[in-house]
C-alpha cells in the first residue's frame, strides 16, 4: 500500500526542478518504477513531483545533422515503434521492444527507464542493505543468482536493470540534464555510477536534477546495431544477460565497435576486451570465439551466478555471428 | 402454455432420456443432446463484464477494513506487543493480538493424514515469516496499514532452518519440541526389491528436485465478516463454504447453524483456498469486537508467505528393467517439507511410483520435515507432479538404456488394477493405453522422433520431443452430495447446490446435466450454490471431485423432478406415469404422442407452484477403483548458445471418462499444461538461506509465473472419452488435477531429447541450461 505523500504537477520545467529541491521529493514520469518502490517501502517520499504536464519533454525529433532527440517522457512503446529508430538506431528499437511487458512499455518512459532503481531482491525487500544505507550486502553471500559478474568492487552486486541504457551506450547517446543551478549534457557512459563511487546512487543525478532529453548523434556510415536479451521467462522479466552491439565494417573488417552488456554489472558494462578482440578483424568463427572469451575473461562469478559466464559467452558468439557481413 | 415461455426455456425438438421408474437406476446416457457439447459458461457474461460480485467485491454499510501484522522473522518469540499508539490513531476501531486473551483462541493445524498441532490464533512462538502477531480494524485500508506500522513488537529472534534438506541435521534448531520430523517416515514395500534389482538387465538411479511453488490465485485470499445478533455471516473466497463454516464454528465455539458462509464466485484457489485460514477468524473477532462488518483481504505479499505452497521435494529413484521392457523393481526415497506446521510435505509424493506401472517389487520411503517457512497446502494434484518429474524422467532414461521407444516401455507396463490399494481393486476403466497411443498419433510422435534422431539442429536451436504420462489418485470424488432442484410453475428451474465453482465450469456442467434430463436450456436455469445458509452440505471443491461427486446428484435430482412431474401429469392425462415421456416442455403419452400437454398446464404443478426434487450421489463401486489417466506430449527448442527454452507445442490426451462440456474440458487441459509449464520452467520460491531465512521473491514479478509468451499457442486437447458407467451415473471422472501432473516431466524429457541433458531440478530455463550446455560441450 502506498504511503502518504503530497502530489504536485508543475506547468514548467523550472517549477518542477524547484519542487524537486524540497525535502524527500521524488520525480514521477511514467511511475512504473516509482510507485513500486514507494509501495514496497524501498524509499519514502514526502512529495511526488509529476512532470506529465511538460509536453515539451515528450516526442522524438530529428536533428539537422541526422541524429535524434528523444524527450524524456517519450514512452518505451513510442521508441520501439518509431520507424527511424528501427532503421537507423536498431539496437534502441530492439531494446525498447524487449522492456517488461506491453502495458509497462505503454506507461514507462525512456528517461525513467535509464533512471530506474535496481531489481536486487534484497534492495527491493525488507533488508537494510548497503544501497539503502545499511551496512550489509546480503547478495554477496546470499541468493545471488541474478547478480553481477563485473564492477561490484566487492561492495554491491546489483545489475543495472535497463535494456535501453546499453543500447543507448553503444549508440554513443548523450543525456541532457536540467537542474536548479545548471543545464548540462553528458555522454551516457558517464551518466551511471559504480558502487565504488557511491553505493547509494545509480546515476550522477542530484536530488533536483531531471533528465530532459536523450540525444542520439547521427549514426556513423554503415553502422549496424542490435540488442539481444536472455531472461528466465519471455515477457515481464529483466535480463539474465543482454548484449548491445554497434559495429561498422570496412570491407569485411570491423572498423567501429561498441559492445555493451546488460545484466552483467551495476552499470551498462562496456566490454573493451571484446571490442579489442574484433577491431580490425573479420568476424571469423575463431575471432568471434576469442571475443566471447575476452568478454568474460575478467568475470568474478558469485556462488550462484556462475551460469552467466557461459551464458554471456554464448550470447556474444550468437550476436556477433549475426553481425557478420 | 405460453409459447414464448416454451421457446424461452425449452430446447426445441430435443428428446430427453426416459424417466426411470421409482427405485430403478437410471440408464447410462447414450447419445447425449447437451452434455459433451462445447458450451460457454452460464455465468461467463457476468464474470467477463464485471457484474459478478466476488467476495472481494462485497461492500456493506459501515464496513471496516482489517489488516494483519505478520512476523518478519522466520523464527522468533513475541515478547511484547505494544498497541498503545496504534489504538489512538485516527479511524482505528480495534487492535487484537496475543496480548488480548479473549481474542486469541486455539488454532489447530491438521492434515488429512491425521497430523494435528495445536497453536493459537496469535501464537507467541512464531515459526514462519508471515505468522500472525496482531490485527487491526480501521475505517479505511490505509488507516489499518498505518496502524500496523505503529504497533511495537518486541521479538526474541531465534535461529531458523529454511533448507528442508538440512532440517534433520544435528545442531539444527528445533521448530517443535519433538524436533523437525513430521510424524514418522513412511515406508511401503511390496515384493522383494533386492531380488527385483538382481533380475534387472538395467538399473538406473537418479536424484530429482522440484522447487517450492506458490499457488497465486488471481483473487486474493480473504473474507468479509458480519454479525447479526449472534449469527455470523462470512463472504469468503473459498473452495468450500462448508469447510470454512466448520472451522469458524469450531474455533469460535459456535453452533454450525449460527455460521453462514457465502462464496458464490471465487477467483481461483488451486488448493490454497481449500483450507480455512486464520484471517476468517480474525475478521469474525474484529467484527464482533467493533460491532461493524469487517473486510479482511490479504495483500499479495502475505499470500506468498502464509496461504500455502506446493512443497519442495527431493527424490531419489532407483529402477530396474529387463531388456524386454518389464519393470523389475523401484526404490524411491524422498524428503518434503510441510513448513512450520504439519501440512502434508510428502502427501501422495510416492503414489505414482506405487501405482502407475506394473512393478512387482517396490519400496518407497518418505520423510516429511518442518522448516521455518509457511505451511504447505494441497496444490493441484498434491505430490503427483513432483513424483511424475522423477518417475517419468526415469521411464524415459530406462527406455533409452534398453533402446526402446519410451511410449512402448510405458505400454508394456500398464496395470489394469491398483497395486497400491489394499486388495488390489481393478480399475473401472483405464484409458492410459489409448492416451499414449492416440496422443502419439495425433502428435506425430514417431515421425518427429525419427526426424530429430537424424537432425535436431534448427539454426542456433536444438529441437526435441517428449512424452510423459500419469494417473491421479482420485477419480470419483468424495463426500456426500445433496442437490435440490426446483421446477417452477412457469417451467423454469432453480438448481441448489452446496459446491463451489472454483473457475472450472462446475455451474455450467451442472446446468447441462439438468438440461440433458429436462430438455431445458442451460441458461434458463437459476443456480444457487456455495452458501451454507441456503444449500446442502458439500465437501471442498478439490481433488478433482466436483463433477464426479455433484453431477450424479444433479442427475438424480432432475430425474426425481421428472418422475414427480410425470406422476402429476398422469392424473391429467388419465395415464400411468411410466407410459409418459417429456419433450419440448410437453408431457405426452409414449404410444400416442398426439396426446400431450405443456408442463405448465399440469394441474398439480399449477396448484403447488413448484416441484422439489432432491438428488443424492448414488453408491460408489466398492470392489473397483476409479482413476483418471493422462499422457502429454510436447515439442521444444533449446538455444544451443544461451540455454533459452521455447515450448513450441503441447498436446494433452486425457481419460477422465465422459466429456461433460468440451469447452471447459479443453480449458482445464490448457490451464493444467500452463501451470505445469510454470513448474517446469519458471516457478520457484527463493528463501534467503544464508542470512535471514526470509522469502526474497514474494512479488508477482520476482516469483515468475509463465506469461502468455512462455506457453505455446499450439496446444491441443485430445479427449480419450470412455464413459465410466460403473463409477457414477454420468460416466465422468475427475479432470482438474490430472491435466497438470505429467506436464513438467514432458518438458524435461523433450529437453533431453533436444540436448542430451537430463535436467533433474526445476525450474529449467536459461539459468540452469546455459551452464549445463557448457558442461555438456566440455564433456563432449
Residues A303 and A195 occupy one common structural domain: no
CB-based contact, B299 to chain A, within 8 Å: yes
Q: Distance between CA atoms of A227 and A245, rounded to whole angstroms? A: 6
CB within 8 Å: A232 and B691: no
Percent of chain B whose predicted confidence (pLDDT) is above 70? 99
Q: Is B573 helix (H, G, I), strand (E, B) or coil?
A: helix
pLDDT over threshold 80, residue B7: no
For B297-353, the DSSP string reads E--HHHHHHHS--B--EEEEEEEEE-TTS-EEEEEEEEEEEEESS-S-TTTTTTHHH
pLDDT over threshold 50, residue B1: no
Structure confidence by residue, pLDDT tens digits, B759-778: 999 999 999 999 999 999 98
Rounded to 10 deg, the angle between the B766-779 and B743-755 helix axes is 30
CB within 8 Å: A307 and B709: no
Q: Is B486 helix (H, G, I), strand (E, B) or coil?
A: strand
The dihedral built from the CA positions of residue B192, B193, B197 and B198, taken in this order, carries a sign that is: negative
Residue B3's pLDDT band, with cuts at 50, 70 and 90, is: low
Q: Per the domain annotation, does A175 fall within a domain?
A: yes
Residues B735 and B768 occupy one common structural domain: yes
Q: Per the domain annotation, does A129 fall within a domain?
A: no
Q: Is the Cβ–Cβ distance between B701 and B6 less than 8 Å?
A: no
Residues B428 and B521 occupy one common structural domain: no
- Tally the C-alpha atoms within 13 A of residue A228's C-alpha that lie toward its C-beta: 19
Q: Per the domain annotation, does A105 fall within a domain?
A: yes
pLDDT over threshold 90, residue B14: no
Residues A110 and A166 occupy one common structural domain: yes
Residues B670 and B529 occupy one common structural domain: no
**Could you identify the residue written with the cell 492416440?**
B438
**Among B616, B650, B669, residue at a domain's last position:** B616
Residues A176 and A257 occupy one common structural domain: no
Residues A95 and A230 occupy one common structural domain: no
Q: Which helix (H) or strand (E) holds B526?
A: strand B525-529
Residues A189 and A209 occupy one common structural domain: yes
Q: Alpha-carbon dihedral of residues B235, B240, B241, B247, nearest 10 degrees?
A: -100
What is the structure's pLDDT at A181?
A: 81
Q: Per the domain annotation, does A126 fall within a domain?
A: no
- For residue B706, the chain A residues in CB contact (below 8 A) are 233
Beta carbons within 10 angstroms of residue B441's beta carbon: 12
List the CATH number of the domain containing A251.
Answer: 3.30.390.50
Residues A80 and A165 occupy one common structural domain: yes
Residues B247 and B295 occupy one common structural domain: yes
Residues A16 and A95 occupy one common structural domain: no
- For residue A101, the chain B residues in CB contact (below 8 A) are 707
pLDDT over threshold 50, residue A183: yes
Structure confidence by residue, pLDDT tens digits, A79-121: 999 999 999 999 999 999 999 999 999 999 999 999 999 999 9
Structure confidence by residue, pLDDT tens digits, B272-314: 999 999 999 999 999 999 999 999 999 999 999 999 999 999 9
How many structural domains comprise chain B?
Answer: 3
Mean pLDDT, rounded, for B171-195: 97
CB within 8 Å: B642 and A230: yes
| Assembly ipTM | 0.97
Q: Is the Cβ–Cβ distance between B222 and B295 less than 8 Å?
A: yes
Range of the domain at A245: 224-323
In sequence order, the β-bridge partners of residue B482 are: B616
Nearest to A59 by CA among A175, A213, A202: A213
Residues B467 and B484 occupy one common structural domain: no
Q: Per the domain annotation, does B315 fall within a domain?
A: no
Residues A42 and A61 occupy one common structural domain: no
What is the structure's pLDDT at A21?
A: 95
- For residue A136, the chain B residues in CB contact (below 8 A) are 691
Residues B467 and B402 occupy one common structural domain: yes
- For residue B147, the chain A residues in CB contact (below 8 A) are none
Provide the shortest C-alpha distance from residue A167 to chain B (in Å): 20
Instruction: Supply the mean pLDDT for chain A.
Output: 97
CB within 8 Å: B689 and A143: yes
Residues B541 and B635 occupy one common structural domain: no
List the CATH number of the domain containing B100.
Answer: 3.30.365.10
- For residue A230, the chain B residues in CB contact (below 8 A) are 642, 644, 766, 770
Q: Is the Cβ–Cβ distance between A248 and A116 less than 8 Å?
A: no
Nearest to B335 by CA among B359, B371, B381: B371
Q: In chain A, whose CA is at the least distance from the CA of B690?
A: A142
Structure confidence by residue, pLDDT tens digits, B596-645: 999 999 999 999 999 999 999 988 999 999 999 999 999 999 999 999 99
Residues B439 and B515 occupy one common structural domain: no
Q: How far apart, in Å, are the Cα atoms of A278 and each of A170, A230, A281? A: 15, 23, 5
Q: Is B114 helix (H, G, I), strand (E, B) or coil?
A: coil
Angle of CA points B742, B721, B660, to nearest 5°: 95
Structure confidence by residue, pLDDT tens digits, B188-224: 999 999 999 999 999 999 999 999 999 999 999 999 9
| Closest CB to A234 among B686, B702, B710 | B710
Q: In chain B, whose CA is at the least distance from the CA of A303?
A: B690
Percent of chain B whose predicted confidence (pLDDT) is above 90? 93
Residues A61 and A209 occupy one common structural domain: yes
Task: Provide the CA B25 distance to its chain's centre, in angstroms.
Answer: 31
Residues B427 and B493 occupy one common structural domain: no
Percent of chain A whose predicted confidence (pLDDT) is above 90? 97
How many structural domains comprise chain A?
Answer: 3
List the CATH number of the domain containing A197.
Answer: 3.30.465.10
Q: Alpha-carbon dihedral of residues B235, B240, B243, B248, nearest 10 degrees?
A: -10
CB-based contact, B410 to chain A, within 8 Å: no
Residues A25 and A167 occupy one common structural domain: no
Q: Is B261 helix (H, G, I), strand (E, B) or coil?
A: strand
Residues A87 and A164 occupy one common structural domain: yes
Residues B689 and B767 occupy one common structural domain: yes
Q: Per the domain annotation, does B313 fall within a domain?
A: no
Residues A198 and A97 occupy one common structural domain: yes
Range of the domain at B377: 348-358+371-475+624-779
Q: Distance between CA atoms of B587 and A203, rounded to whole angstroms? A: 81
Q: How far apart, in Å, are the Cα atoms of B627 and each of B274, B395, B466? A: 22, 21, 24
Q: Per the domain annotation, does B191 fall within a domain?
A: no
Nearest to B384 by CA among B315, B329, B442: B315
What is the structure's pLDDT at B6?
A: 58
Q: Per the domain annotation, does B733 fall within a domain?
A: yes
Rounded to 10 deg, the angle between the B384-401 and B743-755 helix axes is 30
Mean pLDDT, rounded, for B394-418: 98
Amino acid at each position: 500500500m502506498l504511503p502518504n505523500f503530497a502530489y504536485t504537477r508543475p506547468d514548467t520545467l523550472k517549477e518542477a526542478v524547484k519542487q524537486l529541491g524540497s525535502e524527500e521529493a521524488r520525480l514521477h514520469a511514467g511511475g512504473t518504477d516509482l510507485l513500486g518502490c514507494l509501495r514496497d517501502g524501498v524509499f519514502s517520499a514526502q512529495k511526488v513531483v509529476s512532470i506529465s504536464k511538460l509536453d515539451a519533454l515528450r516526442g522524438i525529433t530529428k536533428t539537422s545533422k541526422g541524429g535524434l532527440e528523444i524527450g524524456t517522457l517519450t514512452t518505451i512503446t513510442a521508441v520501439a515503434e518509431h520507424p527511424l529508430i528501427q532503421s537507423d538506431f536498431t539496437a534502441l528499437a530492439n531494446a525498447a521492444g524487449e522492456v517488461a511487458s506491453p502495458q509497462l512499455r505503454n506507461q514507462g518512459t525512456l528517461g525513467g527507464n535509464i533512471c530506474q532503481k535496481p531489481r536486487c531482491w534484497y534492495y527491493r525487500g525488507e533488508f537494510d542493505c548497503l544501497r539503502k544505507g545499511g551496512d550489509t550486502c546480503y547478495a554477496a553471500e546470499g541468493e545471488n543468482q541474478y547478480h553481477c559478474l563485473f564492477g561490484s568492487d566487492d561492495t554491491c552486486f546489483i545489475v543495472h536493470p535497463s535494456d535501453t541504457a546499453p543500447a543507448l551506450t553503444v549508440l554513443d547517446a548523450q543525456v541532457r540534464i536540467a537542474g536548479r543551478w545548471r543545464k548540462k549534457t553528458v555522454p551516457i557512459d558517464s551518466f551511471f555510477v559504480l558502487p565504488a563511487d557511491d553505493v547509494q546512487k545509480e546515476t550522477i543525478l542530484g536530488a533536483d536534477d531531471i533528465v530532459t532529453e536523450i540525444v542520439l548523434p547521427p549514426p556513423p556510415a554503415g553502422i549496424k546495431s542490435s540488442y539481444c536479451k536472455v531472461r528466465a521467462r519471455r515477457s515481464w522479466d529483466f535480463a539474465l544477460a543482454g548484449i548491445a552491439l554497434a559495429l561498422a565494417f570496412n570491407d569485411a573488417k570491423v572498423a567501429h565497435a561498441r559492445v555493451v552488456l546488460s545484466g552483467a554489472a551495476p552499470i551498462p558494462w562496456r566490454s573493451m576486451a571484446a571490442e579489442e578482440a574484433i577491431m580490425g578483424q573479420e568476424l571469423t568463427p575463431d575471432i568471434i570465439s576469442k571475443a566471447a572469451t575476452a568478454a568474460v575473461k575478467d568475470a568474478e562469478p558469485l556462488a550462484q551466478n556462475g551460469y552467466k559466464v557461459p551464458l554471456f559467452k554464448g550470447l556474444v558468439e550468437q550476436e556477433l555471428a549475426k553481425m557478420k557481413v | 402454455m405460453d409459447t414464448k415461455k416454451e421457446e424461452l426455456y425449452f430446447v426445441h425438438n430435443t428428446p430427453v432420456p426416459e424417466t426411470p421408474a421409482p427405485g430403478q437406476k437410471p440408464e447410462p446416457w447414450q447419445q447425449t443432446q447437451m452434455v459433451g457439447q462445447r458450451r460457454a459458461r452460464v455465468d461467463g457474461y457476468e464474470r467477463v463484464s464485471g457484474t459478478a460480485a466476488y467476495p472481494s467485491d462485497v461492500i456493506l454499510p459501515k464496513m471496516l477494513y482489517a489488516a494483519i501484522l505478520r512476523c518478519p522473522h522466520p523464527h522468533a518469540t513475541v515478547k511484547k506487543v505494544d498497541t498503545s499508539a496504534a489504538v489512538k490513531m485516527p479511524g482505528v476501531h480495534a487492535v487484537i493480538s496475543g496480548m488480548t486473551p479473549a481474542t486469541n483462541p486455539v488454532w489447530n493445524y491438521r492434515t488429512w493424514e491425521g497430523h494435528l498441532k495445536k497453536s493459537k490464533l496469535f501464537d507467541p512462538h512464531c515459526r514462519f515469516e508471515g505468522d500472525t502477531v496482531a490485527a487491526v480494524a480501521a475505517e479505511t485500508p490505509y488507516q489499518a496499514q498505518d496502524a500496523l506500522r505503529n504497533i511495537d513488537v518486541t521479538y526474541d529472534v531465534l535461529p531458523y532452518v529454511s533448507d528442508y534438506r538440512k532440517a534433520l541435521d544435528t545442531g539444527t534448531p528445533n521448530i517443535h519440541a519433538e524436533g523437525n520430523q513430521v510424524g514418522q517416515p513412511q515406508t511401503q514395500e511390496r515384493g522383494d526389491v533386492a531380488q527385483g534389482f538382481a533380475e534387472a538387465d538395467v538399473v538406473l538411479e537418479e536424484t530429482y528436485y522440484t522447487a517450492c511453488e506458490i499457488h497465486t490465485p488471481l483473487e486474493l485470499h480473504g473474507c468479509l465478516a458480519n454479525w447479526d445478533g449472534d449469527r455470523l455471516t462470512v463472504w469468503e473466497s473459498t473452495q468450500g463454504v462448508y469447510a470454512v463454516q466448520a472451522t469458524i464454528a469450531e474455533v469460535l465455539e459456535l453452533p454450525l447453524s449460527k455460521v453462514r458462509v457465502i462464496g458464490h464466485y471465487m477467483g481461483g484457489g488451486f488448493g490454497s483456498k481449500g483450507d480455512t485460514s486464520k484471517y476468517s477468524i480474525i475478521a469474525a473477532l474484529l467484527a464482533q469486537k467493533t460491532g461493524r462488518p469487517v473486510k479482511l483481504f490479504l495483500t499479495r505479499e502475505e499470500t506468498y508467505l502464509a496461504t500455502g505452497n506446493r512443497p519442495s521435494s527431493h527424490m531419489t529413484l532407483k529402477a530396474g528393467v529387463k531388456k524386454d521392457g518389464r519393470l523389475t523393481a523401484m526404490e524411491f526415497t524422498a524428503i518434503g517439507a510441510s513448513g512450520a506446521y504439519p501440512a502434508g510435505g510428502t502427501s501422495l509424493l510416492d503414489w505414482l511410483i506405487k501405482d502407475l506401472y506394473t512393478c512387482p517389487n517396490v519400496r518407497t520411503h518418505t520423510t516429511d520435515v518442518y522448516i521455518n517457512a509457511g505451511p504447505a497446502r494441497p496444490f493441484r494434484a498434491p505430490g503427483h507432479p513432483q513424483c511424475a518429474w522423477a518417475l517419468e524422467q526415469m521411464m524415459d532414461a530406462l527406455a533409452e538404456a534398453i533402446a526402446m521407444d519410451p511410449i512402448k516401455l510405458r505400454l508394456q507396463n500398464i496395470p489394469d488394477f491398483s497395486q497400491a490399494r489394499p486388495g488390489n481393486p481393478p480399475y473401472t476403466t483405464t484409458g492410459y493405453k489409448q492416451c499414449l497411443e492416440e496422443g502419439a498419433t495425433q502428435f506425430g510422435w514417431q515421425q518427429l522422433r525419427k526426424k530429430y534422431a537424424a537432425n535436431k539442429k534448427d539454426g542456433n536451436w536444438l529441437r526435441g520431443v517428449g512424452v510423459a504420462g500419469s494417473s491421479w489418485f482420485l477419480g470419483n470424488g468424495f463426500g456426500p452430495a445433496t442437490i435440490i432442484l426446483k421446477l417452477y410453475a412457469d417451467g423454469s428451474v432453480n438448481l441448489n447446490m452446496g459446491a463451489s465453482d472454483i473457475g472450472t465450469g462446475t455451474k455450467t456442467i451442472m446446468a447441462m446435466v439438468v438440461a440433458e434430463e429436462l430438455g431445458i436450456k442451460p441458461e434458463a436455469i437459476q443456480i444457487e450454490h456455495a452458501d451454507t445458509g441456503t444449500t446442502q452440505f458439500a465437501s471442498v471443491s478439490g481433488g478433482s471431485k466436483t463433477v464426479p461427486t455433484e453431477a450424479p446428484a444433479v442427475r438424480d435430482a432432475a430425474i426425481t423432478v421428472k418422475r414427480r412431474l410425470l406422476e402429476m401429469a398422469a392424473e391429467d392425462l388419465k395415464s400411468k406415469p411410466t407410459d409418459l415421456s417429456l419433450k419440448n416442455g410437453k408431457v405426452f403419452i409414449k404410444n400416442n404422442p398426439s396426446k400431450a400437454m405443456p408442463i405448465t398446464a399440469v394441474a398439480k404443478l399449477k396448484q403447488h407452484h413448484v416441484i422439489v426434487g432432491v438428488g443424492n450421489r448414488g453408491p460408489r463401486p466398492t470392489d473397483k477403483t476409479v482413476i483418471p489417466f493422462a499422457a502429454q506430449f510436447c515439442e521444444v527448442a533449446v538455444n544451443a548458445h544461451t540455454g533459452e527454452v521455447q515450448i513450441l507445442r503441447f498436446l494433452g490426451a486425457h481419460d477422465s471418462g465422459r466429456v461433460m462440456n468440451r469447452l471447459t474440458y479443453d480449458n482445464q487441459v490448457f490451464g493444467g499444461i500452463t501451470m505445469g509449464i510454470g513448474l517446469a520452467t519458471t516457478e520457484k520460491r527463493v528463501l534467503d538461506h544464508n542470512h535471514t531465512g526470509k522469502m526474497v521473491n514474494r512479488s508477482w514479478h520476482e516469483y515468475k509465473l509463465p506469461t502468455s509468451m512462455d506457453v505455446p499457442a499450439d496446444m491441443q486437447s485430445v479427449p480419450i472419452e470412455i464413459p465410466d458407467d460403473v463409477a457414477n451415473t454420468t460416466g465422468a471422472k475427475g479432470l482438474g488435477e490430472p491435466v497438470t501432473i505429467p506436464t513438467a516431466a514432458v518438458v524435461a524429457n523433450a529437453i533431453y531429447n533436444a540436448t542430451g541433458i537430463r535436467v533433474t531440478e526445476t525450474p529449467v530455463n536459461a539459468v540452469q541450461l546455459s551452464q549445463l550446455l557448457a558442461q555438456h560441450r566440455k564433456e563432449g
